[in-house]
Amino acid sequence: MRFLSWSLGIVALLALAVFGLLQLTPVQDRLIDRVIRKNVDNSAAQALFKDDAMRLLVCGSGSPLPHPTRARPCLAVIAGGKFYIVDTGPGSWNQLALRHIPAERIGAILYTHFHSDHIGELGEFNMQTWVAGRPGPLAVYGPEGVQRLVAGYSEAYALDRGYRTAHHGAEMLPPERGEMQAHTLALPADGHRVPAFEDGELKVSVFAVHHEPIEPAVGYRFDYKGRSLVISGDTRRDERIVTAAEGADLLAHEAQAQHLVARMHTLTAEAGRPRISKIFGDIPNYHTSPVEAAELANAAKVPLLLLYHLTPSPPNRIAEQVFMRGVKAVRPEGVVLSDDGTLITLPLAGGAPQVGRFDP
Ligand SMILES: [Zn+2]
Ligand SMILES: [Zn+2]
């Protein structure tokens, strides 16, 4: 007993001493310097750009529903020394900035469609990558409608671009580099996948998906030095995904747990929230369930399926189990329920996709 009270006394004294030290200005300053040095060190993020793999970093795994940590849809494909962003959902820039991704390395932004949960931060992406030293205007690809999106964001940020050039000088921030260039991707009527653009050895192709009544809506395939990945965008179950993903190493597919949305439809009605209830009643017809996504991945014989755009986004392990109900029976292995920060590595030397996290 005496030993315990002595120990507790020593711990209390030590805690007091540490608290006292933290009040000293020189100690505080040294700690702040350490934090600043850590925050400007982007060596871990730079290593993601080594040309030994194509990588996929999840910068937004969430859905339009609120979530404390997940951003809305955003996927970053890293290949050939650059990163390519598919959708810029609200909160997604923060996920990249927190991980010190070198913004000047942006190759292009691609849009799957123009729902607000996908377009929210185009202005921020353009501004931040320009200020970081992007060597030219920002290329923005998407189906018909991308011109309007780019024109609108460009106008909304025109004053701020002016402020920054005036403040930091045109040598550092040439106005012409702060512009965006919209590229409208034409889609063939037969629904086949067609080339979108090439950048060095990276080939990007585009295909239409079923997100009606939203049209057009598209998915993308990235091919780089023998590795490939496919991104579904927002779609109900669509067999064209199977065709697009044949021979690919990775399928990143949206997922909506229809059994949970059905409960939300019923319970919001019971709670006297008819408007929200109607939305939960309307949305199942243009999204894909986790089980359906697993079936599509199996049909395409893709080694790895990554689920993103999780509706509703599970907040904990138990909720993840409920979200994934039925998936194991269809596809026992090769499924990743993504989170912001999930990193998939496809080594150029070959071998299975590697699943990890990037939290430097
Ligand atoms: Zn969406
Ligand atoms: Zn949508």
C-alpha 119 – ligand 1 centre gap (Å)? 10
Q: Is the pLDDT of residue 117 over 90?
A: yes
Q: Is the pLDDT of residue 168 over 70?
A: yes
C-alpha 111 – ligand 2 centre gap (Å)? 11
Tell me the backbone φ, ψ of residue 197, rounded to 5 degrees: -165, 165
Report the chain's mean pLDDT, rounded to a whole number: 95
Upstream peptide bond of 315 is cis (omega within 30 degrees of 0): no
Q: Is the pLDDT of residue 1 over 70?
A: no
Considering every ligand atom, which ligand is closest to the CA of 89? Answer: 1
Mean pLDDT, rounded, for 59-79: 96
The pLDDT value given to residue 26: 93
C-alpha 233 – ligand 2 centre gap (Å)? 8
Taking a C-beta distance cutoff of 8 angstroms, is the pair 319, 73 a contact? no
Summarised one tens digit per residue, pLDDT across range 195-219 is 999 999 999 999 999 999 999 999 9
Of 158, 157, 109, 105, nearest to 135 by C-alpha is: 105
Q: Is the pLDDT of residue 4 over 90?
A: no
User: How crowded is the C-beta side of 114, counted as CA atoms within 13 Å?
Assistant: 16
Q: Give, in degrees to the nearest 5, the angle at Cα 302 between 229 and 285.
A: 85
For residue 57, the Cα-to-chain-centroid distance in whole angstroms is 7
Considering every ligand atom, which ligand is closest to the CA of 309? Answer: 1
Confidence of residue 333 (pLDDT cuts 50, 70, 90): very high
Summarised one tens digit per residue, pLDDT across range 221-258 is 999 999 999 999 999 999 999 999 999 999 999 999 99
Q: Is the pLDDT of residue 129 over 70?
A: yes
Q: Give, in degrees to the nearest 5, the angle at Cα 171 between 165 and 173.
A: 40
For residue 299, the Cα-to-chain-centroid distance in whole angstroms is 25
Of 181, 182, 226, 229, nearest to 205 by C-alpha is: 229
**Paired tokens of 150:** 């780019």
Q: Is the pLDDT of residue 298 over 70?
A: yes
How far is CA 141 from each of CA 82, 176, 218, 271, 303, rounded to the nearest angstrom? 16, 19, 11, 42, 28
Summarised one tens digit per residue, pLDDT across range 178-189 is 999 999 999 987
C-alpha 309 – ligand 1 centre gap (Å)? 7
C-alpha 116 – ligand 2 centre gap (Å)? 8
C-alpha 1 – ligand 2 centre gap (Å)? 64
Q: Is the pLDDT of residue 299 over 90?
A: yes
Considering every ligand atom, which ligand is closest to the CA of 114? Answer: 2
The pLDDT value given to residue 3: 72
C-alpha 232 – ligand 2 centre gap (Å)? 11
d(CA 218, CA 210): 8
Considering every ligand atom, which ligand is closest to the CA of 235? Answer: 2
Q: Is the pLDDT of residue 191 over 90?
A: no
Tell me the backbone φ, ψ of residue 294, rounded to 5 degrees: -65, -40
Of 57, 149, 148, nearest to 106 by C-alpha is: 57
C-alpha 323 – ligand 2 centre gap (Å)? 19
C-alpha 135 – ligand 2 centre gap (Å)? 32
C-alpha 312 – ligand 1 centre gap (Å)? 11
